[in-house]
Structure 1
Amino acid sequence: MNKKGARSHDPYAVLRIAEFRLYVSARLCITLAMQIQAVIVGWQIYDITRDALSLGLIGLAEAIPSIIVSLYAGYLADIMPRKKIIMAVISVLMLCSATLLFFTTDMSHVLASYGAGPIYGVIFLSGIARGFMGPAVFSFMPQLVANKQLYTNAITWSSTTWQAASVAGPALGGLIYGFWGITVSYATDAVLVLLALVLFSLIGAKPLPENINPQNMKESLRSGIKFVFGNQIILNAISLDLFAVLFGGAVALLPIFAYDILNMGPQALGFMRAAPAIGSVSMALIMAYYPITVNAGKKMLLCVAGFGACIVLFGLSTNFWFSIVLLAVSGAFDSISVIIRSTLIHTLTPEYMKGRVSSVNNIFVGSSNEIGAFESGFTAKLMGVVPAVVFGGVMTMVVVGITALKADKLRKLNLTSDMEPAV
């Protein structure tokens, strides 16, 4: 970008829209709540089981229901007001947070009798809710931004908000758990979910985009899948992130690194969970001022390869501060990939199809975080924690190499303002 272009770009343009500010504030709260809950649940289950596979099962318990409902959730997001879906989903997440809190008080004997089973049950229910939330939230955001030229700016700030919450959430979760205990931690989680519900309620309802090709549910789902698999750029971008997250899921094993390898406590775990997001939010803020346009595809490939290299080095590290730096750099690389992929999907997908396309994206990428957590736990059980993490990072780089050779359209991609949705 030349200097004149940099000066004319307004990095705060989308934040001048009042409803978008409510949206990112609500997303901040719900993401903080989820991150706090993830830290607490991971530490709690490892404290109960002392088993790496049990940590991986947390991800599987959430991913399976999310994948099962995802396509139908995308269909609903294209035929129902998206705000109604979001409100219903967050109400279910509120119930899940309250139940986890309840388990630490009068119902603590349930965990004493059944171990981690009831926690997995709550996570399974939250997985169903998140399966519906992803497509609804994804397709709701563009309705708050009338000017399509602000999509990249909106995605950047939305990603920055998410990453900021991912910085604060794990750190808060670890610190609150370490200093005030599990009950206060889950209470904080529940309050944040409630606040997100209130903020979303203040956003006005939006009509559904006009569907130029009405279809029944079966045809509608088929057309959404066909759209993704028929668009080489979107398919390759989604697939790249899928395998990077699948093999690079070292975050699921952080309780083991904090407890057994680095010999530290829940506070250290909180900072380790926050480190990738510190890198991500820093990079997202930079991209708000200097958005990537030229050679976006090549830069995406290089960043995913860099992410894999950081995971390899993290697996080999025995120094806490070096591990923190590696996790932060991995987050910076990941942020670039996420913003480019999200911009592509929003720009190239027609408005009336965004729910369904988002659901396919959620199956590929969203649930791969949880499946990647299971893969990490399973391989750690088979070959040990450090070899499992190193293996995952190496496989991520292998996937990048294959994609760079095969996906010529993605490799040559430039993000331009005249890109139009495929019909």
Structure 2
Amino acid sequence: MTMPTFKQLTDQRAFMRMWTARLCGTMGSQMLMVALGWQMYELTGSAWDLGLVGLYQFVPALLLTLIAGHLADRLHRGRIIACCYAVQSLVALVLILATQGWGGASPWVSRGLLFGLSVLLGVARAFQMPAQQALTPSLVPPHMLPRALAFSSGGNQAAVIAGPALGGLIFVAGATAVYATCAALFIGAAVLIALLRYQHTAPLREPVTLSSLLAGVDFVWHNKAVLGAVSLDLFAVLLGGATALLPMFAKDILHVGPWGLGLLRAAPAVGALIAAVILTRSPLKRRVGRSMLLAVALYGLCMVVFSLSTSLLLSMAVLAISGSCDMLSVVVRQTLVQLETPDAMRGRVSAVNSVFIGASNQLGEFESGASAALVGPVASVLLGGLGTLLVAALWFKYFPALAKRDRLLNDAAK
């Protein structure tokens, strides 16, 4: 497989509009989290509070997942995404006012405000992620879907790289400058998605039942390869993630400022982008399940090395490798979910997948912060990396359908 040409994807105008909106939204989200995390640590100096920021974003996703998936299968998915971006722009604007003050008043940013806005961000993303994941197959013909997903992942990783690095640099001018940039990016993304047009077929208005709400859960539970892939990603990042602690490593261990934090946040995305390009040009053809499990084991090893590193360059290098490993996991998981799920259920299945992703990210940040508060950041990341190695070994045994998975496309097509 080769990378799709710009002209090929430009012909799919709706897809390109969504791709651009996602690029803006991802950059804004990454910049916002860099600034919010650094501002929280400056306010409280607490690893526990850094972890709570992630927890408060995850809980809404967990509580609202069934509703979000159901709505994504019933309503116009583009409008759902546009509303979610509008809410995130509102959060950025509130942070500007709180940090700068209003009409000469003193700044009123506080620990409680940052937690409250984290909850609001969690609510917005709870509805955005299922709709966004389920929308892409509706924008391109089936034969273009693999290329479109590769192109979309590459653009997303580019935004993940640019967002933290740019956010760290802009933070030199103050948190307000970062939040203003985020607000502009979110508003731009909301406008682009609001103008999106695609063939939306309203589903039959069947009664909302517990069975229909749980259809996505039931689908994932009975597809053991999919269940193994998404749960492996969950536990790997839950245990091995160190994102929430990067402000501590940057400031207290590596002794760098916001610019260094931005580089650390961007390093995994650099590795992921490189892996995305390689996997697009030379996709996995055989032993994909085994490759995924080995990549997760290498991810855990990278976290062990990162925890012991006192060099910024070494830390960035192992984070980049961990990002490459994570990208391989993402490719396997997304391919399985997209190709094996009927369109009428994509919203609900994507909602379940979003909970796993959110748990591995936001709940993982809480776990990191909580464990760092007890044993320190170095021991927290070290133990998490060792735990990830253990999980990879256990999944070989308990999910043979995933471990023995040979091909992605052929198997999914059968």
State the TM bucket, normalised to the shorter chain.
over 0.9
1:189 is displaced (CA, Å) by: 0.5
Partner of 2:65: 70
Could you say which residue in structure 2 is the equivalent of 1:124? 119
1:176 is aligned to 170
Aligned counterpart for 1:199 among listed residues 192, 195, 201: 192
Q: 1:95 aligns with which of 79, 90, 93?
A: 90
Contact 1:11–1:288 (CA<8 Å) still a contact in 2? Answer: no
Stretch moving more, 103-112 or 184-193: 103-112
Give the secondary structure class of the aligned counterpart of 1:104: helix
1:244 touches 1:304 (CA, 8 Å); kept in 2? yes
- Deviation of 1:356 after TM superposition, in Å, equals 0.5
Hey, what's the Cα distance between the residues in 2 that align with 1:260 and 1:172? 22
1:111 alignment partner AA: W
SS class of match (1:203)? coil
Alignment coverage as a number of residue pairs: 410
Q: Secondary structure at the match of 1:342?
A: helix
> Structure 1 stretches (4+) deviating beyond 4 angstroms?
13-16, 418-422
State yes or no: 1:208 paired with 2:205. Answer: no
Change (3 A) 1:30 1:79: same
Give 1:151 deviation, angstroms.
2.7
2:69·2:350 contact (CA, 8 Å) conserved in 1? yes
User: Could you tell me which residue of structure 1 aligns to residue 181 of structure 2?
Assistant: 188
The Cα offsets for residues 271-312 of structure 1, whole Å up to 9 and x where unpaired, read as: 010000011111111212112121111111111111111011
Shift of 1:215: 5.2
* Aligned partners of 2:83 and 2:190 also within 8 Å: no
Partner amino acid, structure 2, of 1:52: A
Of the structure 1 ranges 135-144 and 99-108, higher mean CA displacement relative to structure 2 is found in 99-108
For residues 236-251 of structure 1, what are the structure 2 equivalents within 5 Å? 236-251=228-243
Give the letter for the 2:370 counterpart. Answer: F
SS of the aligned residue for 2:167 comes to: helix
Amino acid paired to 2:271: G
Deviation at 1:18, TM superposition (A): 2.2
Say yes or no: does 1:161 pair with 2:158: no
Aligned mates of 2:333, 2:324 — CA distance in 1: 15
Residue 209 of structure 1, CA deviation: 7.0
Q: Which runs of 5+ in 1 are unaligned?
A: 1-5
1:290 match? 282
Of 145, 170, 173 in structure 1, the residue corresponding to residue 140 of structure 2 is 145
What amino acid is aligned across from residue 329 of structure 2 in structure 1? Answer: S
**Match for residue 330 of structure 2 among 338, 346, 357:** 338
Over the aligned positions, Cα root-mean-square deviation in angstroms equals 1.8
Cα offset for 1:73?
0.1
**1:272-287 → structure 2 map (5 Å cutoff):** 272-287=264-279
Aligned mates of 1:130, 1:367 — CA distance in 2? 13
Counterpart code for 1:256: M
CA displacement at 1:182 relative to structure 2: 1.3
TM-score, structure 1 length as denominator? 0.93
Corresponding residue of 2:384: 392
1:195 to partner: Cα distance: 1.1
- Is the 1:11–1:289 contact (alpha carbons within 8 Å) kept by the matching residues of 2? no
- 1:196 is aligned with what amino acid? A
Residue pair 2:25, 2:189 contacting (<8 A) in 1 also: yes
Identity of aligned residues (%): 40
**Is 2:74 aligned against 1:79?**
yes
Provide the TM-score with structure 2 as the length reference: 0.95
Question: What amino acid is the match of 2:246?
Answer: L
> By how many angstroms is 1:418 displaced?
4.2
Task: Write the distance in 2 (CA, Å) between the matches of 1:296 and 1:135.
Answer: 25
Query: Residue 83 of structure 1: CA displacement?
Result: 1.3
Stretches of structure 2 lacking an aligned partner (at least 5 in a row): none
Partner of 1:3: none
In the aligned structure 1, how far is the partner of 2:409 from the partner of 2:37? 43
Structure 2 residue 35 is the aligned partner of structure 1 residue 43: no
Change (3 A) 1:81 1:376: same
1:413 is paired with a residue of what secondary structure? coil
CA contact under 8 A between 2:32 and 2:182: conserved in structure 1? yes
Matches of 2:412 and 2:292, distance apart in 1 = 21
Q: How far, CA to CA, are the matches of 1:281 and 1:182 in structure 2?
A: 28
C-alpha deviation, 1:118, in angstroms? 0.7
Distance in 2 (CA, whole Å) between partners of 1:77 and 1:209 is 11
Residues 154-182 of structure 1: per-residue CA shift (max 9 Å, x gap): 2222211111111000001100002x111
Offset of residue 266 of structure 1: 0.5
